Every structure is written in C-alpha cells, then in structure tokens.
C-alpha cells in the first residue's frame, strides 16, 4: 500500500516528505524486493529507516508485500 504523508517523524524529528513519493514498509524478507520496486516505480532510490523509528498520522506499518509487521520504512525526504 502506498501512503502519502506530508510529514513523518523520524526518531522524533519532524521530516518533510518529498511530494509525490509514498511511504512504504517492508519486512526483512521483502525489503530487497521493495527497494527494487521503489526504484522501478519512482526512478529514485528511497531513504530507508527502521520502521519503529518512523511515526506518522494513520501510518500503517505493515509490509507492503505480505502484510507482516514491517522492519524497514522506505520513503523520500524532501531536499535529499
Ligand atoms: Zn513481507
């Protein structure tokens, strides 16, 4: 599932998301696949953070591929 947020908190710090790029989550089993998908879908490598460090309104932290609790967040920070 693609989740579009304007801001998320990463390690408690408010971080602005790059418009047009979603936040996705992946379990360890699917993280390589999700990295490839992100690059294929958006032609850019995402920034990755541990899922537990990323918080946002209504953020659903389940693996996009299998629905398991996610370990990694894939997102694109504005200005990076
Ligand atoms: Zn998974």
Residues 68-77: tens digit of each pLDDT: 999 999 999 9
Q: Where are the domains of the chain?
A: 7-75
Q: ∠ CA 18-23-28 to the nearest 5 degrees?
A: 135
How many A from CA of 50 to the centre of ligand 1?
A: 14
DSSP class per residue in 6-51: SEEEETTEEEEBPTT--BEEE-TTTHHHHHHHHHHHHSSPPEEEEG
How many A from CA of 15 to the centre of ligand 1?
A: 25
pLDDT in tens, 7-52: 999 999 999 999 999 999 999 999 999 999 999 999 999 999 999 9
How many A from CA of 55 to the centre of ligand 1?
A: 19
How many A from CA of 76 to the centre of ligand 1?
A: 20
Task: Scan for tokens 């997102």, then name that residue.
Answer: 75
pTM, 2 dp: 0.94
Q: For the chain, how many residues are written?
A: 80
How far apart, in whole angstroms, are the C-alpha atoms of residue 47 and residue 23?
A: 10
């Amino acid at each position: 599932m693609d989740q579009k947020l304007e801001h998320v908190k990463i390690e408690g710090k408010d971080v602005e998301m790059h418009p047009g790029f979603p936040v996705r989550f992946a379990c360890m089993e699917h993280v390589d696949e999700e990295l490839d998908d992100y690059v294929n879908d958006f032609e850019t490598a995402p920034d990755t953070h541990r899922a537990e460090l990323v918080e946002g309104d209504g953020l659903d932290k389940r693996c996009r591929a299998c629905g398991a609790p996610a370990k990694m967040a894939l997102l694109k920070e504005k200005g990076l």
